[in-house]
Amino acid sequence: MWPPAMAMSLRTTIDYNKLITLQQRSQNWQNALHLLERICAVRLQPTLVSFNASISCCEKASRWQVAGLLLHNVGLLRLTPNVITYSAAISACEKAAEWQQALMLFEELCHESLQPNVVTLGALVSSCESCSAWRQGLRIFRDLQACLVQPNAIVYNASISACAKADRTEALSLLAELEYHGASNVVSYSAAMPACSWQQAIDLLRRMDERHIKGNLILYSATISACARQGRWRESLALMTEALAHHLQLDMVTEAATISACKMHGEWPQALHLVDGMQLKAFPPYVIAVNSAISCCDKVSEWQQTLQLLEGIAAQPQMITYNSAISSCQKAMLWPPVLQLLSCALKALLQPTVVTYNACMSACRGRRGDQVAQWPMAMQLAIAAWLRLMKAG
């Protein structure tokens, strides 16, 4: 496995330890184990450093079971594991989302009368976060404070993230504590964001500004989406403007969410403005945004804008897109564009629905007393709809 010249140069345990440590960069845990075995094969005595370095290699590769076995072998060789040994083994469990194993190792560490450090506890809390075991993570965090060990930002952030999706109050309380210590960073606010209502999300951005912490794309996107879900289109638009001022490039999903918020309140000019500003990208996000804008125009009977949007769409429209456009023209009793839209949908091999045919027939019937009502066409559509629906079962 090793070149002869390198094998000849490995004369002491320290030489082997250095080479084992180098394996951490490439996450080559198999090589680390081979070197550890070779120490014994050449009748050298492995040290705790040998095992710590090997366990760290396993940690980097998420090999928690091998890390645990190595920890067990430390005791068999009458070596005494230290905090570094346990921290590496706990980190291996954390990376593999094995929070119960991590807790068992932590209890073993305490039984050995070792003092955990922030690295140990950070890994332990993170293991609870990755498995949604937030109560255990929070208990560990509070135990850490009771032992007068000052948690660092990494431990706080892991605790905030663990609580954010389950206990909103606790997550925001932890963030406030971190702010009090003057140690909050952009990761802290990102971790707390899932715990926030739209008002609280905006408040977090303002608190970041006060502390001269620059918001990132994730934070702005989450806040804009939170506002959009509640129909707060003005706030969404203001935040989009703010994000652009910070040279952040919002994704199309975020913009589509804002368009949906505009749609909820019939703000079709704003929806159209957003669609005009979007780059024409691949299918689903852009079409979703256009669907929302067309639906918005449909609600306020802006059929001209609907047709313009449909003509400008880059990707293949969906049936829901055609349905919204047909509905908009139907409300204006414009049967020629309605039939043209139906024809386009059929040519695109889309499947018109009952909603589609009802809107088309309504447009052809016209208003009561209308002299240009297309009754024959309406009857043909009714028959076509019946045949298609029968064929579809």
Tokens encoding 128: 């609870």
pTM passes above 0.75: no
Q: Is residue 326 part of a domain?
A: yes
- Most confident region among 55-59, 114-118, 119-123, 216-220 by mean pLDDT: 55-59
Q: What is the pLDDT of residues 159-170, one digit of tens each?
A: 888 888 776 788
Tens of pLDDT along 80-124?
999 999 999 999 998 888 888 988 998 898 888 888 877 888 888
Mean pLDDT of 240-251: 80
Report residue 28 as tokens.
């080559």
> What mean pLDDT value characterizes the chain?
77
Asked if residues 257 and 236 have their Cβ atoms less than 8 Å apart, the reply is yes
Q: What are the angstrom distances between the C-alpha of 319 and each of 49, 239, 310, 326? A: 65, 32, 12, 10
Q: How confident is the model at residue 34 (pLDDT cuts 50, 70, 90)?
A: very high
Determine whether 146 is exposed, middle or buried from the number of CB atoms within 10 Å of its CB (0-12, 13-18, 19+). Answer: exposed
| Res 302: pLDDT | 57
In this predicted structure, what is the pLDDT of residue 384?
A: 64
Question: Which one has a higher pLDDT value, 8 or 42?
Answer: 42
Is the per-residue pLDDT at 386 higher than 60?
no
What's the pLDDT band for 265 if we cut at 50, 70, 90?
low
- What number is the average pLDDT over the span 150-176? 83
In 10 A of CB 78, how many CB atoms?
6
Which region holds residue 301: left if phi is over 0, alpha if psi is between -120 and 50, else beta? Answer: left
- The verdict on residue 144 lying in a domain is no
DSSP SS3 for 105: helix
Residue 203 has pLDDT above 50, yes or no: yes
Q: Determine phi and psi for 147, rounding to 5 degrees.
A: -85, 5
**pLDDT value for 24:** 85
Contacts of 88 (CB under 8 A, 6+ apart): 52, 55, 56, 58, 59, 67
**Residue at a domain's end among 109, 130, 151:** 109
**How sure is the predictor about 156, in pLDDT bands with cuts at 50, 70 and 90?**
confident
Tokens of 341: 């839209």
Question: Which pLDDT score, from 0 to 100, does residue 210 have?
Answer: 93
pLDDT of residue 385: 59
- Please check whether residue 329 lies inside any domain of the structure: yes
Picking from 109, 140, 165, the residue at the C-terminal end of a domain is 109
Within-domain flag for 128: no
- Tell me, yes or no, whether 210 lies in a domain: no
Q: What is the pLDDT of residue 63?
A: 92
Does any domain span residue 17? Answer: yes
**Helix segments in 133-251, DSSP class H:** 134-146, 153-164, 168-180, 186-192, 198-210, 217-229, 233-245
Asked if residues 208 and 230 have their Cβ atoms less than 8 Å apart, the reply is no
Q: Which of 42-51, 212-221, 334-343 has the lowest mean pLDDT?
A: 334-343
Q: Does 172 reside within a domain? A: no
Confidence class of residue 376 from pLDDT cuts 50, 70 and 90? low
Distance CA 57, CA 262 (A): 52
CATH number of the domain to which 81 belongs: 1.25.40.10
Residue 279's pLDDT band (boundaries 50, 70, 90)? very low
Q: Which of 53, 74, 109 is the last residue of a domain?
A: 109
- Total count of residues recorded for the chain: 393
- How far from chain centre, in Å, is Cα 244? 21
Distance CA 274, CA 150 (A): 47
Number of structural domains found in the chain = 2
| Lowest pLDDT segment from 15-24, 197-206, 318-327 | 318-327
Tens of pLDDT, residues 280-289: 444 344 555 5
Whole-angstrom Cα distance, residue 89 to residue 121?
12
Q: What single-letter amino acid sits at 123?
A: A
Sort 299 into a burial class: Cβ within 10 Å, 0-12 / 13-18 / 19+.
middle
CA distance 309 to 377: 27
Residue 275: pLDDT over 70: no
> Using an 8 Å Cβ cutoff, are 190 and 220 in contact?
no
- Whether the per-residue pLDDT at 6 is higher than 80: the answer is no
Instruction: Kindly state whether residue 33 falls inside one of the protein's structural domains.
Output: yes
* Percentage of the chain exceeding pLDDT 90: 24
Report d(CA 205, CA 163) in Å as an integer. Answer: 20
* Gap between the Cα atoms of 52 and 57, Å rounded: 9
The range of the structural domain enclosing residue 51 comes to 1-109
Q: For the chain, how big is the Rg over CA atoms in Å?
A: 32
